[in-house]
């Protein structure tokens, strides 16, 4: 059932009152809350799009001004600043932005989109600070792993402090980069770590992040980060597994080119079986997030296998016609599911109300 924002507030208050009076238990209350969704009004949608545009422009500005480094290097040479001084200046700026962000979140906790947009500045400022601090020590002989690990800890700590999803996701990405750099260091620059190439190595890392996200359900104040960790871990796992299905456990691009693609069929079969098993579990457990992501990667897997085995032997127009029909079918099914959910609603909710 779809309700507007005011109606959802009334329903939330009623369910909370029933829970306090013992009319319903926690499980029933949760089912009632899941039985309706809040209709987005035009102003809310417009505000979200406006903040997305603001974040996008901020990232572009960051890329043009900071990643280019020309103006920072110009100021550094003009005033004789060392890389350590530049890093410390941006670190102070980061602390000031964290203070501003915390105050804003305390004053306007309902402005989620605006608060997350402000987190972008914290992410960028801290990234510049750590980059210049790392350069000041020569990245410890070219080893980027310690800096990436420190970045992951810093972003994770700020995410907990500010309760910011963007900061938490950035921490997970830094942790992923740290694992890749650290295993490269542990293997002394070899293409394999414990017999695993990077695709297999990152597949196991993504699976670990995804499975560990389940612990956040029972982690008290960290419970709010369960969903972004679950989604990021799942995407890391399936993206790396998809790459593994293409390249196998080859240690170099040259060795992969020298191998016939048909010899790697078992990696593609394992990935397809994995997606099928996860999709079956998602449908049985009614995990819509897992279901949708698995369907996306299942389509990607089908098209990948086509390019591998049939691209040279099939008419290109026919291929793109099949591609268009498949996307049309997915869109049609998604629309049918949405209409069915909106029309049927939740029987428990309708009965109790």
User: Domain end: 186, 211, 245, which one?
Assistant: 186
- Structure-token pair, residue 85: 């001084």
Q: Which of 19-23, 255-259, 261-265 has the lowest mean pLDDT?
A: 255-259
Tell me, yes or no, whether 324 lies in a domain: no
Q: Do residues 297 and 169 share a domain?
A: no
Q: Which of 249, 152, 284, 266 is nearest to 209 (CA)?
A: 152
Rounded CA-CA distance 129/96 in Å is 13
Tell me, yes or no, whether 320 lies in a domain: no
Rounded CA-CA distance 3/37 in Å is 6
pLDDT surpassing 50 at residue 349: no
Instruction: Convert the pLDDT of each residue in 299-324 to its tens digit.
Output: 888 877 777 666 556 666 776 777 77
Q: Do residues 173 and 202 share a domain?
A: no
If one compares 8 and 130, the residue with the highest pLDDT of the two is 130
Per the structure, the count of domains in the chain is: 3
Which pLDDT does position 326 carry in this prediction? 73
Q: Do residues 256 and 128 share a domain?
A: no
Q: Do residues 14 and 46 share a domain?
A: no
- Structure-token pair, residue 10: 């009334």
**Residue 297 pLDDT grade (very low, low, confident, very high; cuts 50, 70, 90):** confident
Contact 259, 250 (CB under 8 A): yes
Tell me, yes or no, whether 177 lies in a domain: yes
Tell me, yes or no, whether 173 lies in a domain: yes
User: Domain end: 165, 186, 207, which one?
Assistant: 186
Sign of CA dihedral 336, 339, 344, 350: positive
Q: Do residues 246 and 281 share a domain?
A: yes
Tell me, yes or no, whether 66 lies in a domain: yes
Q: Do residues 45 and 128 share a domain?
A: yes
Provide the domain limits for residue 21: 1-39
Q: Which of 26-30, 89-93, 160-164 has the lowest mean pLDDT?
A: 26-30
Q: Do residues 168 and 59 share a domain?
A: yes
| Mean pLDDT, rounded, for 322-339 | 71
Which pLDDT does position 347 carry in this prediction? 44
If one compares 345 and 204, the residue with the highest pLDDT of the two is 204
pLDDT surpassing 60 at residue 66: no
User: Domain end: 186, 217, 243, which one?
Assistant: 186
**Main-chain phi, psi angles of 141, to 5 degrees:** 75, 30
Tell me, yes or no, whether 353 lies in a domain: no
Q: Do residues 19 and 83 share a domain?
A: no
If one compares 69 and 103, the residue with the highest pLDDT of the two is 103
Q: Do residues 88 and 23 share a domain?
A: no
Q: Do residues 22 and 75 share a domain?
A: no
pLDDT surpassing 60 at residue 9: yes
Q: Which of 112-116, 286-290, 313-317 has the lowest mean pLDDT?
A: 313-317
Q: Do residues 162 and 51 share a domain?
A: yes
Q: Which of 11-15, 229-233, 286-290 has the lowest mean pLDDT?
A: 11-15
pTM as predicted: 0.70
Tell me, yes or no, whether 48 lies in a domain: yes
If one compares 77 and 167, the residue with the highest pLDDT of the two is 167
pLDDT surpassing 70 at residue 247: yes
Q: Do residues 172 and 69 share a domain?
A: yes
Tell me, yes or no, whether 107 lies in a domain: yes
């Amino acid at each position: 059932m779809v309700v507007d924002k005011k109606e959802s507030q009334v329903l939330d208050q009623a369910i909370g009152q029933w829970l306090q009076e013992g009319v319903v238990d926690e499980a029933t209350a949760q089912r009632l809350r899941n039985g309706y969704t809040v209709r987005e009004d035009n102003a809310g949608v417009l505000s979200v799009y406006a903040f997305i545009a603001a974040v996008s422009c901020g990232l572009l500005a960051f890329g043009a001004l900071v990643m280019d480094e020309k103006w920072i290097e110009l100021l550094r040479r003009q005033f004789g600043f060392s890389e350590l001084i530049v890093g410390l200046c941006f670190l102070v700026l980061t602390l000031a932005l964290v203070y501003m962000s915390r105050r804003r979140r305390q004053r306007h906790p309902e402005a989620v989109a605006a608060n997350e947009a402000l987190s972008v500045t914290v992410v960028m400022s801290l990234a510049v600070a750590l980059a210049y601090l790392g350069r000041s020590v020569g990245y410890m002989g070219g080893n980027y792993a310690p800096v990436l690990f420190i970045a992951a800890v810093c972003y994770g700590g700020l995410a907990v402090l500010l309760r910011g999803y963007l900061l938490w996701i950035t921490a997970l990405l830094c942790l992923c980069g740290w694992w890749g750099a650290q295993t490269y260091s542990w293997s002394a620059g070899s293409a394999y770590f414990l017999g695993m190439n990077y695709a297999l190595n990152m597949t196991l890392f993504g699976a670990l992040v995804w499975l560990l996200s389940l612990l956040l359900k029972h982690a008290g104040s960290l419970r709010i980060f369960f969903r972004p960790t679950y989604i990021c871990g799942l995407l890391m796992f399936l993206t790396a597994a998809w790459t593994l299905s293409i390249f196998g456990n080859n240690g170099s691009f040259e060795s992969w080119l020298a191998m016939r693609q048909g010899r790697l069929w078992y990696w593609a079969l394992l990935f397809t079986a994995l997606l099928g098993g996860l999709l079956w579990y998602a449908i049985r457990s009614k995990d819509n997030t897992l279901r949708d992501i698995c369907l996306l990667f299942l389509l990607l897997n089908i098209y990948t296998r086509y390019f591998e085995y049939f691209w040279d032997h099939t008419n290109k127009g026919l291929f793109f016609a099949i591609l268009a029909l498949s996307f049309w079918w997915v869109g049609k099914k998604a629309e049918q599911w949405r209409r069915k959910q909106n029309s049927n609603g939740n029987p428990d909710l309708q009965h109790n109300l």
